[in-house]
Amino acid sequence: MTGTSALTEASASARKMVDPFGRSISYLRVSVTDRCDLRCFYCMSEDMTFLPKVDLLTLEELDRLCSAFIAKGVRKLRLTGGEPLVRRNVMSLFHSLSRHLQTGALNELTLTTNGSQLARFASELKDCGVRRINVSLDTLDPTKFREITRWGDMQKVMAGIDAAQAAGLAVKINAVALKGLNEDEIPSLMEWAHGRGMALTLIEVMPMGDIGQSRTDQYLPLSMVRARLASQYTLTDLDDSTGGPARYVRVSETGGKLGFITPMTHNFCESCNRVRITCTGTLHTCLGHEDASDLRRPLRASASDDLLYETIDRAIGLKPKGHDFIIDRHNRPSVSRHMSVTGG
């Protein structure tokens, strides 16, 4: 093979990802660890078994994997977990991935975090080109926070949010709507977030992973939350999409943005542009399906990315049309993976 044809072949194998339903894949979420320093009761069971560290991809391998996806058209990259900021040396991954922002190959590098370690890392994240982050926080009540997270300290999260804003990062708050737990608090959580210039996105709880508790007891449909908010506030639908699954409204009284992620009452699969990889290099093309493709083997099989590209293309070719999460009366999870494995 001549040099030129080898080149043509390599770039052909890094072709863009379009699934059988014509959806272009441009958004990758990477769970860099399944471990977390909190144990939110709707996310994990109390006695979670975590992956042996030897099964994890190294940070260098994660960089190579992310870079392969960027070569195949990913424009937005979100690191998540588990808690991404508890992975040892994770900032070196942010630093190395930031080169794709500098070349313009990547539009956005971001993360989802519980905020507990953010005070230490906020300004370094900003230095790496991170502009916006999502912080998960379901309550402003320290006792409830402890109850939800099993042992978390809300002050650390608040210090993390302060540090992020001081560093110039735009912060969006994500809160899971939980029946009987934070449902009465949603207006005050929204007013607090908007008062600090932060958007708030509410999320319906999904039946992912066995957590040893009834999902029926947790599930609060956002259609109900929205109706209640609409009786107190003026909500105007916004058209803008950030490439994620949330639908946004502007709240006239606060001036802030409120998002709704409704995997249960209305799925958003028709516009899905996302795939996910876990810290062991497993590719999931749909959050709500058991589909899984191993990318670790082709990654380690050769220094060239051709086999990796082929495996990715095969998986994208099987991306399901959509998901239907169901909370059944036996409380069986729709998907056996915990959210902490797949990455939120």
- Would you count residue 113 as binding ligand SAM (CB under 6 A)? yes
- Would you count residue 154 as binding ligand SAM (CB under 6 A)? no
Count of residues that interact with ligand SAM, criterion CB under 6 A: 20
In whole angstroms, how close is the CB of 231 to ligand SAM at the nearest point? 25
- Would you count residue 208 as binding ligand SAM (CB under 6 A)? yes
What is the radius of gyration, based on Cα positions, of the chain? 20
In whole angstroms, how close is the CB of 157 to ligand SAM at the nearest point? 10
In whole angstroms, how close is the CB of 205 to ligand SAM at the nearest point? 4
Give the C-alpha separation, 130 to 119, whole Å. 15
Residue in 67, 139, 273, 340 binding ligand SAM, rule: CB under 6 A: 340
Residues 6+ apart with CB under 8 A from 151: 38, 39
In whole angstroms, how close is the CB of 310 to ligand SAM at the nearest point? 30
For ligand SAM, the closer CB: 112 or 293: 112
Of the candidate spans 80-88, 244-252, 283-291, 310-318, the one that interacts with ligand SAM by CB under 6 A turns out to be 80-88
Helices 118-127 & 154-166 angle (0-180, nearest 10): 20
Of the candidate spans 40-48, 97-105, 181-189, 242-250, the one that interacts with ligand SAM by CB under 6 A turns out to be 40-48
Give the C-alpha separation, 73 to 16, whole Å. 5
- Would you count residue 201 as binding ligand SAM (CB under 6 A)? no
Sheet strands side by side (includes 132-136)? 235-237, 247-251, 257-261, 199-204, 170-177, 132-136, 108-113, 76-80, 27-31, 274-277, 282-284, 293-294
Residue in 174, 182, 262, 293 binding ligand SAM, rule: CB under 6 A: 174
For ligand SAM, the closer CB: 17 or 66: 66
3-state SS class at 226: helix
* Residue 330 host element (H or E): none
CA 78 from chain center: how many Å? Answer: 7
Which residues are at the interface with ligand SAM (CB under 6 A)?
36, 40, 42-43, 80-81, 83, 112-114, 136, 174, 176, 203, 205-206, 208, 339-340, 344
